[in-house]
Amino acid sequence: MEYERSKYSVVVAMIFKHSVYMCKRDAAENNYPNTWQFPNGDLIDANENPIDACARLVEENTGLEIDTKRFQYMGPIMTDPTSEIRYVYYVELFQGEYPRHRHPLMAGPWYLFRLDLAQKFNLMEGLYRVFDILRVLFE
């Protein structure tokens, strides 16, 4: 499969009480059709800080405005064919913070799944390792 590729991107796991919010990508998407994902996307340019990109992309994808101090860095994914470096973060959501469905043409609504269940889904490349780390942190 040929992917649209970017240099730098971020992915953010949204955690709530030992569970994670995910949505399923549309079947017509070029990159990773029909896979489950976290909020993610490219840095605007080389000057955008990855933490600022996290806040921007979470807001764009879910409508949630999250202070940058709440994002925790987990490490990079270097094996994703769509990005040279994908920076991985997580954020713990508070009671009352619920992601909204913002891009119906690109992906389905957000669902909350237990970590052990979500790890068995058809995921974007590299996210299986992210789940290994999340399960150590939150189970």
Note the pLDDT of residue 25.
Answer: 86
Residue 43 lies in a domain: yes
pLDDT tens-place string over residues 107-127: 789 999 999 999 999 998 788
Number of domains observed in the structure of the chain: 1
pLDDT tens-place string over residues 8-54: 889 999 999 999 999 998 888 877 889 999 998 888 777 889 999 99
Residue 1 lies in a domain: no
Residue 132 lies in a domain: yes
Residue 29 lies in a domain: yes
Note the pLDDT of residue 5.
Answer: 60
Q: Is 130 helix (H, G, I), strand (E, B) or coil?
A: helix
Q: Is-contact 139 116, C-beta < 8 A?
A: yes
Note the pLDDT of residue 86.
Answer: 87
Residue 125 lies in a domain: yes
Q: Which domain holds residue 97?
A: 6-138
Q: What is the mean pLDDT of the chain?
A: 88
CA 73 to chain CA centroid, nearest Å: 12
Residues 70, 93: Cα–Cα separation, whole Å: 9
Which CATH number is 121's domain given? 3.90.79.10
- Among residues 8, 12, 7, which one has the least CA distance to residue 124? 12
- Kindly report the pTM of this predicted structure: 0.90
